[in-house]
Amino acid sequence: MGQAVVLYLSNTGHTQGVAEKIAATTGAKLMAIKPQQAYTAADLNWQDNDSRSYHEMHGGRVRPAIEPVDGAAISQATTVYLGFPLWWATAPRPIDTLLDSVDLSGKTVLPFCTSGSSAIDEAVRQLRVDYPAVNWQDGQRFTSNVTAEEIQDWSSKA
């Protein structure tokens, strides 16, 4: 395997914890995707049809601005572990912002998520439709207590 990076979005720490374990287990470079405007608790209220997250996910083609990422490290990588929380069973819009701004075509991308209970399959189905040049692998939902052994099994599929 060539170089690998872990790119992740995490607003309340769950996905970050898993991303850190993936980096520690695989040796991949850890890189956060940071929205320029961080999400507040009110922004993340999925029960409020007027919250920022609700509008972003139900408002068509929204691309919230993100902080610049290390494009050189990403372009050198052959494997990308791409992590995010599930929002309405799909990837939050800042993931689309990232995928629109860096070229992952031809790279092996292993999507992973944390969630309350939803499976990752619908999120990956949409990512495959929207970004067909990426070599998407099947996704994996992890819980915070995922073990190094489970990560090893999963990452060895890259």
Q: Which is nearer to ligand FMN, 69 or 135 (CB)?
A: 69
Q: How many residues bind ligand FMN (CB under 6 A)?
A: 20
Which listed range, 11-19, 26-34, 63-71, 131-139, lies at the site for ligand FMN (CB under 6 A)? 11-19
x-or-dash string of contact with ligand FMN, 30-69, rule CB under 6 A: --------------x-x------x----------------
Measured CA to CA, the distance from residue 86 to residue 139 in angstroms comes to: 12
Burial class (CB in 10 A: 0-12, 13-18, 19+), 61: exposed
The DSSP call for residue 132 is T
Measured from the CB atom, is 14 or 107 closer to ligand FMN? Answer: 14
Spatial separation of the C-alpha atoms in residues 142 and 145, rounded to whole Å: 8
Find the binder of ligand FMN among 11, 25, 26, 97 (CB under 6 A): 11
Q: How far, in Å, CA of 63 to CA of 69, rounded?
A: 15
- In whole angstroms, give the CA distance from residue 67 to residue 105: 21
User: Is there a contact between 139 and 148 (Cβ–Cβ < 8 Å)?
Assistant: no
Task: State in angstroms the smallest separation of the CB of 2 from ligand FMN.
Answer: 27
Pick between residue 45 and residue 78 the one whose CB is nearest to ligand FMN: 45
User: What is the pattern of x (binds ligand FMN, CB under 6 A) and - over residues 109-128?
Assistant: -----xxxxx----------
- Minimum CB–partner distance for residue 154 and ligand FMN (Å): 17
Alpha carbon 31 to its chain's center? 11
C-alpha gyration radius of the chain: 15
Q: Which residues form the interface with ligand FMN (CB under 6 A)?
A: 10-16, 44, 46, 53, 85-89, 114-118
